[in-house]
């Protein structure tokens, strides 16, 4: 038996009782672009909770469930439900290629990456999620929450979504929400990943670009041969969103130049990409040494949005 792939079929009356107690949803569909990337649709036992694009809810599995990395199981004498918040994504298009709005589906879709951290003492959820298969049971939060939404966006505003990895998830549902309601401003959704194989929604994004003249998708990588090998015929170097947001580069890539007074920017993903300022010992806000999107945008005339001071740079703390 491979210790990194323990059996999952072993159940006991005690485990079934725990599942019946804590689980309220089932895996309706599951797609794996690769072993560490999952697009999963969860159907609750009751009505699907309504949500606004950009919001999140929790998924949960018991500490008694197996992990994909073969990590330890908690003793059943101390069972617990392990929960974590995930942004809600969306399928974007139906089988006919038409927009599929958030209120037209009977499930919630999630875009999840597996990052193994064997040295942690906490009982992580994601390695358990990656043992799921269609029909399996789990916990789903009953009420999506979050203020990372399109509320401040007016119909004619330009909107730029910038995400890293699965930080693209909330931007998918936000983009569809805008397009479905006939948004007239320009929309750019750009994402940065290590490899092209990490682009779980690439086919849908390319189709959206063909259907909507005001929508553009930009996918950028950092680990492909053309990013690493200076002798590669298509060498471009590592491509980070901090480079793409520079005015000349943005104009070259997307064909228009955003005006700060008419544009909202939404940031979700790696904290280094976002680059939020923090207070120093004197209470002054100081940006990180390596410039993130917030500082770069501030230099262009954008303002960071906070609960007390609304602006046009919005962010989601993804980890």
Global confidence as pTM: 0.93
CATH number of 158-317: 3.40.50.80
pLDDT of residue 11: 78
Q: Is the pLDDT of residue 128 over 70?
A: yes
Whole-angstrom Cα distance, residue 67 to residue 65? 7
The pLDDT of 242-253, averaged and rounded, is 98
pLDDT, the chain, mean? 92
pLDDT of residue 70: 78
pLDDT of residue 122: 59
Pairing of strands 158-164, 263-269: parallel
Whole-angstrom Cα distance, residue 194 to residue 155? 34
CATH number of 13-140: 2.40.30.10
Domain ranges for the chain, please list them. 13-140, 158-317
Neighbours of 247 (CB within 10 A): 11
Whole-angstrom Cα distance, residue 77 to residue 63? 11
Report the chain's C-alpha Rg in angstroms: 21
The pLDDT of 112-128, averaged and rounded, is 79
Eight-state DSSP code of residue 123: -
Please tell me the least confidently modeled range out of 150-164, 191-205, 280-294. Answer: 280-294
The CA-CA-CA angle for residues 55, 52, 208, to 5°, reads 100
pLDDT of residue 199: 98
Q: Is the pLDDT of residue 319 over 60?
A: no
Half-sphere exposure in the Cβ direction for 274 (13 Å, CA): 21
Residue 307 pLDDT grade (very low, low, confident, very high; cuts 50, 70, 90): confident
- Among candidate residues 44, 94, 256, 245, the one with its CA nearest the CA of residue 164: 245
- Residue range 47-88, pLDDT digits in tens: 999 999 999 999 999 999 988 887 766 666 688 999 999 999
């Amino acid at each position: 038996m491979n210790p990194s792939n323990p059996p999952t079929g072993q159940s006991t009356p005690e485990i079934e009782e725990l599942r019946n107690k804590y689980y309220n949803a089932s895996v309706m569909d599951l797609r794996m672009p690769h072993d560490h990337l999952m697009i999963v649709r969860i159907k609750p036992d009751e009505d699907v909770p309504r949500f606004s694009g950009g919001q999140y809810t929790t998924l949960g599995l018991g500490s008694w469930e197996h992990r994909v990395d073969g990590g330890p199981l908690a003793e059943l004498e101390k069972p617990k439900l392990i929960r974590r918040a995930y942004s809600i994504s969306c399928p974007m298009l139906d089988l006919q290629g038409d927009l599929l709005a958030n209120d037209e589906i009977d499930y919630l879709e999630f875009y999840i990456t597996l990052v193994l951290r064997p040295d942690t003492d906490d009982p992580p959820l994601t390695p358990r999620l990656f043992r799921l298969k269609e029909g399996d049971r789990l916990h789903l939060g009953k009420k999506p929450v979050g203020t990372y939404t399109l509320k401040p966006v007016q119909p004619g505003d330009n909107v730029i979504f910038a995400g890293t990895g699965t930080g693209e998830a909330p931007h998918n549902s936000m983009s569809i929400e805008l397009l479905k309601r006939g948004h007239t401003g320009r929309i750019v959704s750009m994402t940065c990943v290590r490899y092209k194989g990490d682009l779980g929604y690439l086919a849908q994004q390319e189709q959206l670009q063909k259907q909507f003249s005001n929508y553009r998708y930009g996918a950028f990588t950092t680990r492909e041969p053309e990013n690493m090998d200076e002798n590669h015929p298509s060498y471009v170097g590592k491509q980070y969103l901090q480079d793409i947001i520079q005015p000349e580069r943005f104009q070259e890539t997307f064909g228009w130049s955003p005006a700060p007074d008419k544009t909202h920017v939404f940031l979700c993903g790696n904290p280094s990409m976002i680059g939020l300022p923090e207070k120093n010992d004197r209470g002054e806000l100081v940006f990180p040494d390596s410039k993130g999107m917030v500082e770069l945008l501030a230099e262009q005339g954008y303002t960071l949005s906070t609960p007390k001071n609304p602006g046009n740079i919005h962010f989601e703390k993804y980890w």
